[in-house]
Amino acid sequence: MINDIVSFLGQNIEMIYILILSVFVGVEVIGKVPAVLHTPLMSGANAIHGVVIVGAIIVMLNTPVDNILALALGFVAVVLGTLNVIGGFAVTDRMLEMFKKK
Amino acid sequence: MEIKYILDIVYLIGSVTFVIGLKMLSHPDTARKGNLYAAFGMTLAIAGTILWYNHPGGYTSREPLKIILILAAIGIGTFAGWLTANKVQMTKMPELVSLFNGMGGACAALIGIMEYEHNIGNTGALATIIAGLIIGSVSFSGSIIAFLKLNETMKKPIRLPSYNILNTAVMIALVAFGAYIVYAQPEHMLLPILLLAAALVYGVLFVIPIGGADMPVVISLLNSFTGLAAAFGGFLYQNQVMLTGGILVGSAGTILTLAMCKAMNRPLSNVIFGAFGAGNASG
ipTM: 0.94
Query: In this prediction, what percent of chain A has a pLDDT beyond 90?
Result: 79
Assign A38 a pLDDT band (cuts: 50, 70, 90).
very high
Q: Looking at the structure, do residues A12 and A60 belong to the same domain, yes or no? A: no
Which of A19, A77, A93 lies closest to B111 in CB terms? A77
Q: What is the pLDDT of residue A71?
A: 96
Q: Do A51 and B241 touch (CB under 8 A)?
A: yes
Q: For residue A102, is pLDDT > 60?
A: no
- The confidence band for A101, taking pLDDT boundaries of 50, 70 and 90, is low
Any CB–CB contact under 8 A between B145 and chain A? no
Same domain, A53 and A102: yes
How far from B229 is each of A51, B36, B234, CA to CA, in Å?
A: 11, 24, 9
Same-domain status, A75 and A60: yes
Q: Under an 8 A CB cutoff, do B32 and A70 touch?
A: no
> Looking at the structure, do residues A46 and A25 belong to the same domain, yes or no?
no
**Chain A residues touching B189 at Cβ < 8 A:** none
Residue A84, min C-alpha distance to chain B (Å) = 5
A66 contact B CB<8A? no
Interchain CB distance below 8 Å, A85 and B248: no
- Residues of B with Cβ-Cβ distance to A62 under 8 angstroms: 55, 59-60
Nearest chain B Cα to A94, which residue?
B86
Q: Are residues A49 and A75 in the same domain?
A: yes
Q: Give pLDDT tens digits for B75-129.
A: 999 999 999 999 999 889 999 999 999 999 999 999 999 999 999 999 999 999 9
Q: Check: CB of residue A7 under 8 Å from CB of residue B229.
A: no
How far A14 CA sits from the closest chain B CA (Å)? 9
Sequence-distant (≥ 6) Cβ neighbours of residue B30 within 8 angstroms = B24
How many beta-carbon contacts under 8 Å exist across A and B? 354
Residues from chain A that touch B59, judged by Cβ atoms under 8 A, are 62
DSSP state of A96: H
Residues A1, A51 within the same domain:
no
Interchain pair A45, B123: CB under 8 A:
no
**Structural domain of A17:** 1-31
Residues from chain B that touch A63, judged by Cβ atoms under 8 A, are 66, 114
pLDDT at B106: 98
Flag whether pLDDT at A65 surpasses 80.
Answer: yes
A72 inside 8 A of chain B by CB: no
- A66 with A97, same domain: the answer is yes
Cβ–Cβ contact B234 with A under 8 A: yes
User: Are residues A55 and B231, on separate chains, in Cβ contact within 8 Å?
Assistant: no
Q: For chain B, give every domain's residue range.
A: 92-283
> Among B69, B74, B251, whose Cβ lies nearest the Cβ of A26?
B251
Best A19, A30, A49 residue to mutate vs chain B (most B CBs within 10 Å): A49
Nearest-by-CA chain A residue for B91 = A95
Q: Which residues of chain B have pLDDT under 70?
A: 1, 275-283
Compute the distance between CA of residue B212 and CA of residue A92 in angstroms, rounded to an integer. 22
Q: Do A42 and A17 lie in a common domain?
A: no
The total domain count for chain A is 2
Inform me whether the C-beta atom of residue B66 falls under 8 Å from chain A C-beta atoms: yes
